[in-house]
Every structure is written in structure tokens, then in C-alpha cells.
């Protein structure tokens, strides 16, 4: 019943916005919690929604909720310790050096984390009205030998605050929308990045949001390689982090969009009868961002977010979507024409990718297999299998990587531990990534078949504090979603409407170039 009432309220707000009005929503003091509101902060915070029609079946709503709390301030995190005793030792040392220190218990864990008890203890010092003051204090601590200090704003901790929050909502109703909704690769090749505003202008998009996770630096693989599954027009571009939740977009107007945990496999089969699994697509061999891949990955074959696994023996398939040439290095490469016939077997890696064809690039045992079974004149076919949670992957389907899942069947289901967002050996990772508030990009479907694309501004004290995973799930549920997933966030979070940026970038340098996007085309 809560979901139905919330959806009615959202629809009412959309009607008001379409008429050019702004609605101010606040629950009655004695009314049901969050009856007419996003579940952020306490019920009764001031909330305004302004909605405009971008095109038939496409609406954009900007939600502003709450205000900056006088109780929030800047402080310096000095350490995060798994045990209270260790945290107490750091605090005692700070006091001995003349600093006022405090220890704060971090009680929450990921909802599916099998471990119990607090996740750790924060050691903090200082209380400042401005970031500059906290930064200067942190520099003093660093000079005194305290490594790894960071300035934080307590409104982003994940605990109680009054905000504010700025939430941007794109709603696509396939019954009224007659355009095309699809993933779009930055600059149309893998090893490149592009601003969301650039992607929007290049494609003539009515609206767009940033897409999935991607590699940033060369130490973690091919820069801009999508760190998870990517499918464009039914063709695989990047392999999956097996078991991680993604957004599935059928070809066309968004009808039948789905949220599903996907896995994949690729098998190279030679005309001489030999076969070998293909480890990945369109990336540097040996570096697997996010892990969750094929056999031999170290230290794990399970998903591990923002972590790069290694494998010295791989077979990687390169397609023209990678660009002109494969990644250079030691090993061997088989050049395939469009029919799969081997036209050349190269010693060493780093040669041209033929138009319409592909290249199998091998290291270690992968290179040995190519030398033995991919001689010129042989035929090598690569079979692709993508599966998971009943999602339909027809010709023309697009997939954007994400994770973790936020909602299943209208109920919160945050699969952060299962999808590799929890490091058992380092509980601070989940605290920073999932429990603290950050900019978020979210996607979900409604029981009626609509697609929701949502961006939450964050890391902007006084303007918008961002959202935790839990708050992201609550936002999507309140907007009427029953299935939802978290996409790439942080400095990557962005939304355009009519090719103009409506979100506020959290990076000090401004809008961040990204690996892919979801575009709503005319």
C-alpha cells in the first residue's frame, strides 16, 4: 500500500509539473511516514518537485529536499580500524600529541554481509565550519606523521541529516515514447572517454545519463575499458563481472527493460576440433578490472569492485569497436576475417584489427593454443553465451554494467556482498563506497513498464549530500520502481536534458569523461 500511495503522489507531481507548476510536498505532522515524500531524512522535510515534458512519453523531474543541518560540520578522519582497541590506541596517540580525538563506532554493514557486529571504528579529530579549515588541520596532522588523513563532511556519513538532496528523475513511458533508448559507447570505440554532454550532442539525445563502471588508469587495464558487461545492438563489447547486476535495454523505445544479474562465457573453437575459453573482450590481457572472470584469475574469480585481478595466461578477443590496433605486448595473435578464417598468425601482440573481422590475442597458454590451432587457413569461431535471471537478450539488445542490485520485486535487496562491494579484509571499503553518501546514478523499471533513470547530486555540502546504497533503494521505491540497480556514480554521475547538463559534477575539475551512457534519442 505504501508503494501505491507513493506512486500516486509521484504521478500527481508529474501532472502539476507538466502544467508548469511546482509542487511543495510535506507530510502532515501526524500522517504516515514519507506518504508524499522521498524517504530521505525525517518525514516532513520541505520537498519541491518541478517536472517538464521533454518529449511525448519522456519527463524530467527535479526534486529538492531538505536543507543543510546546523549539526553537520567538516572533520578529519585519521584512521579506520576494525577493532575498538586499535582505534583507541590511535586516539590516545593523538591526545598525547595535543589533539582532541574521538572514536566513532561504524555499526552498519552491507545488508547481505554474513559477518556480524560493527564493521569498524573511525578515529576523528577537529570540528570546522569550512573545508579549508579542515584541510589545513589535516595538513598539520600529516606533518606530525599521521598518514592517510582525509577531510570529510559529517552530512555525508550516512547517518541522520536534514540534507539537502537534489535528485534528477528521467521517466520513459514506452507506451507514449516513439524514439530509441540505448547504450552509447564513448567516442564509439573502447579505449576512449567522452563527456556526457559530448555524447548527448554527438547523438542528438533528448536526454542521457552516465552508464557503467570503467577503467581509469593503465595500471588497471585498458583505460576506458568498461569494467563489466557491455552489449551494443546485440553484440558483446566487454565481458561481464559474473553475477553482477546490470541494466538490460531491448532494442527500441525501452519496452521490456530489465534489471538482471548476468554472467557470460566465450569459447574459441578451431576447425581442427580444439577449443579454449576466451577470457575477455577488447581489453589488455592479464588485467581484469572488477575480477569475476574466467579460470586462473588472481587473487579471486569472484567479483571484487575497484580491484584489478591478474592472469598471465589469457585469450582476448578484439573487435573493430576497440579501434585500429590491439594492445601491444608479448604473445601471439590470430587475425580472423568476417567468416572466422585465420588470415595471419602474428608473433607478438599489437597489430591491426581488420574491418569486419577480429583478432584473438593470447598470452601464456593462450598464445600457445593459437600457435597450435590457429594457423593461416584454419577457421576459428567464438561462441558467446550470456545468461542470468531470465533476462531476454535478443538481437539488438543493449546492456549497461552496474551493481549492486537495489530492489527486487518492490522490496529492498541490496546485494553488495555478493557482487563484490564488500572487502572482508578491509571493511572500510564498503563504508566509504556504500554506506556513506555519494553522488549516485540509478536505474529501474516499474510494474507498468516504465523506465526510470535517476541521478543524485552529491559531495556538494549545502547543495546536495548524495545518497547511500540504502537511500538509493528508498528513492527508487518511492518513485514507483520495483526492480532497480546502482550504476556508476561519484564523479561520473551526470544527466543531460536537451543536451544540457542538469546535474552538478562533484569533481573539482568539473564534468568527468566517461566510458558509456544511456541515451534517449528522438
pLDDT tens-digit map of 254-275: 999 999 999 999 999 999 999 9
- Count CB neighbours of 245 within 10 A: 28
Which carries the bigger pLDDT value, residue 5 or residue 357?
357
- Count CB neighbours of 233 within 10 A: 12
Grid cell listed for 327: 594492445
Q: Tell me the average pLDDT across 276-284.
A: 97
Between CA 25 and CA 43 the distance in angstroms is 11
Q: How confident is the model at residue 28 (pLDDT cuts 50, 70, 90)?
A: very low
Per-residue DSSP letter, 221: S
The partner residues of 385 in beta bridges, in order of sequence, read 265
Any alpha helices (H) in 244-385, and if so which ranges?
Answer: 365-373
Q: How confident is the model at residue 395 (pLDDT cuts 50, 70, 90)?
A: confident
Q: pLDDT value at position 36?
A: 81
Specify the domain boundaries for CATH 3.30.70.1070 within the chain: 74-156
Evaluate if residue 518 carries a pLDDT over 80. yes
Any alpha helices (H) in 426-519, and if so which ranges?
Answer: 428-430, 469-478
pLDDT tens-digit map of 220-256: 999 989 999 999 999 999 999 999 999 999 999 999 9
Q: What kind and span of H or E run contains 264?
A: strand 258-270
Grid cell listed for 466: 548524495
Q: pLDDT value at position 31?
A: 38
Q: Tell me the average pLDDT across 28-51.
A: 80
Give the CATH H-level superfamily of domain 74-156.
Sporulation related repeat (3.30.70.1070)
Q: pLDDT value at position 33?
A: 67
Evaluate if residue 29 carries a pLDDT over 90. no
Q: What kind and span of H or E run contains 209?
A: strand 207-210
Q: How confident is the model at residue 21 (pLDDT cuts 50, 70, 90)?
A: very low
Q: How confident is the model at residue 1 (pLDDT cuts 50, 70, 90)?
A: very low
- 176-210 burial: b if 16+ Cβ within 10 Å, else e: ebebebbbbbbbeebbebbbbbbbbeebebbbbbb
User: Sign (positive/negative) of CA torsion 199, 205, 207, 208?
Assistant: negative
User: Sign (positive/negative) of CA torsion 329, 332, 337, 343?
Assistant: positive
pLDDT tens-digit map of 323-372: 999 999 999 999 999 999 999 999 999 999 999 999 999 999 999 999 99
Average per-residue pLDDT for the chain: 92
Q: Are strands 405-408 and 483-486 parallel, antiparallel or unpaired?
A: antiparallel
Q: What angle do CA 252, 479, 183 make, to 5 degrees?
A: 30
Q: What angle do CA 442, 15, 453 make, to 5 degrees?
A: 10
- Count CB neighbours of 251 within 10 A: 17
Between CA 452 and CA 209 the distance in angstroms is 11
- Whether 396 and 253 have beta carbons less than 8 Å apart is answered as no
Q: How confident is the model at residue 393 (pLDDT cuts 50, 70, 90)?
A: confident
C-alpha dihedral, 293 to 297 to 302 to 305, nearest 10°? -80
Q: Tell me the average pLDDT across 284-312.
A: 95
Q: How confident is the model at residue 12 (pLDDT cuts 50, 70, 90)?
A: very low
Q: Tell me the average pLDDT across 457-481.
A: 98
Q: pLDDT value at position 5?
A: 34
Residue with cell 567538516: 74
Nearest to 329 by CA among 279, 299, 369, 367: 367
User: Chain centroid to CA 494: how far?
Assistant: 12
Q: pLDDT value at position 410?
A: 96
pLDDT tens-digit map of 113-136: 999 899 999 999 999 999 999 999
Evaluate if residue 24 carries a pLDDT over 50. no
Question: pTM for this structure?
Answer: 0.92
Q: Are strands 165-172 and 500-501 parallel, antiparallel or unpaired?
A: unpaired
Q: How far, in Å, are 199, 337, 352 from residue 76 at the CA level?
A: 38, 58, 51
Amino acid at each position: 500500500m505504501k508503494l501505491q500511495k507513493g506512486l500516486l503522489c509521484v504521478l500527481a507531481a508529474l501532472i502539476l509539473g507538466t502544467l508548469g507548476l511546482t509542487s511543495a510536498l510535506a507530510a502532515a505532522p501526524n500522517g504516515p511516514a514519507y506518504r508524499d515524500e522521498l524517504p530521505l531524512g525525517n518525514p516532513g522535510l520541505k520537498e519541491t518537485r518541478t517536472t517538464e515534458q521533454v518529449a511525448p512519453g519522456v519527463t524530467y523531474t527535479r526534486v529538492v529536499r531538505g536543507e543543510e543541518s546546523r549539526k553537520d560540520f567538516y572533520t578529519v578522519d585519521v584512521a579506520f580500524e576494525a577493532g575498538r582497541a586499535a582505534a583507541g590506541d590511535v586516539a590516545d596517540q593523538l591526545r598525547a600529541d595535543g589533539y582532541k580525538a574521538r572514536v566513532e563506532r561504524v555499526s552498519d554493514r552491507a545488508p547481505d554481509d554474513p559477518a556480524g557486529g560493527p564493521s569498524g571504528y573511525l578515529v576523528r579529530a577537529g570540528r570546522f565550519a569550512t573545508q579549508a579549515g579542515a584541510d589545513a588541520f589535516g595538513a598539520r596532522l600529516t606533518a606530525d606523521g599521521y598518514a592517510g588523513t582525509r577531510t570529510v563532511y559529517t552530512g555525508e556519513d550516512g547517518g541522520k541529516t536534514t540534507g539537502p538532496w537534489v535528485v534528477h528523475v528521467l521517466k520513459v513511458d514506452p507506451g507514449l515514447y516513439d524514439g530509441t533508448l540505448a547504450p552509447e559507447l564513448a567516442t564509439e570505440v573502447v579505449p576512449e572517454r567522452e563527456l556526457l554532454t559530448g555524447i548527448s550532442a554527438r547523438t542528438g539525445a533528448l536526454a542521457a545519463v552516465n552508464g557503467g563502471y570503467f577503467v581509469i588508469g593503465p595500471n588497471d587495464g585498458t583505460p576506458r575499458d568498461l569494467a563489466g558487461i557491455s552489449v551494443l545492438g546485440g553484440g558483446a563489447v566487454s565481458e561481464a563481472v559474473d553475477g553482477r547486476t546490470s541494466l538490460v535495454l531491448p532494442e527500441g523505445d525501452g519496452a521490456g527493460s530489465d534489471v538482471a544479474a548476468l554472467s557470460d562465457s566465450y569459447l574459441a573453437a578451431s576447425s581442427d576440433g580444439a577449443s579454449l575459453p576466451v577470457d575477455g573482450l577488447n581489453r589488455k590481457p592479464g588485467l581484469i578490472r572488477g575480477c569475476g572472470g574466467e579460470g586462473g584469475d588472481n587473487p579471486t574469480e569472484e567479483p571484487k569492485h575497484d580491484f584489478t585481478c591478474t592472469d598471465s595466461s589469457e585469450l582476448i578477443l578484439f573487435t573493430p569497436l576497440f579501434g585500429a590496433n590491439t594492445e601491444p605486448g608479448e604473445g601471439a595473435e590470430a587475425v580472423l576475417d568476417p567468416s572466422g578464417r585465420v588470415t595471419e598468425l602474428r608473433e607478438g601482440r599489437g597489430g591491426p584489427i581488420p574491418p569486419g573481422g577480429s583478432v584473438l590475442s593470447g598470452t601464456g597458454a593462450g598464445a600457445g593454443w593459437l600457435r597450435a590451432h590457429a594457423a593461416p587457413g584454419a577457421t576459428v569461431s567464438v561462441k558467446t553465451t550470456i545468461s542470468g535471471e531470465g533476462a531476454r537478450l535478443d538481437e539488438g539488445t543493449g546492456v549497461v554494467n552496474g551493481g549492486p542490485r537495489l530492489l527486487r520485486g518492490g522490496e529492498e535487496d541490496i546485494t553488495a556482498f555478493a557482487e563484490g562491494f564488500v572487502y572482508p579484509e578491509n571493511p572500510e571499503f564498503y563504508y566509504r563506497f556504500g554506506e556513506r553518501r555519494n553522488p549516485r546514478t540509478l536505474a529501474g523499471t516499474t510494474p507498468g513498464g516504465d523506465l526510470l533513470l535517476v541521478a543524485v547530486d552529491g559531495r556538494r555540502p549545502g547543495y546536495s549530500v548524495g545518497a547511500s546504497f540504502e537511500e538509493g533503494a528508498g528513492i527508487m521505491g518511492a518513485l514507483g520502481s520495483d526492480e532497480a540497480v546502482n550504476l556508476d556514480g561519484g564523479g561520473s554521475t551526470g544527466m543531460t536534458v536537451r543536451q544540457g547538463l542538469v546535474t552538478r559534477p562533484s569533481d573539482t575539475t568539473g564534468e568527468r569523461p566517461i566510458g558509456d551512457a544511456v541515451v534517449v534519442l528522438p
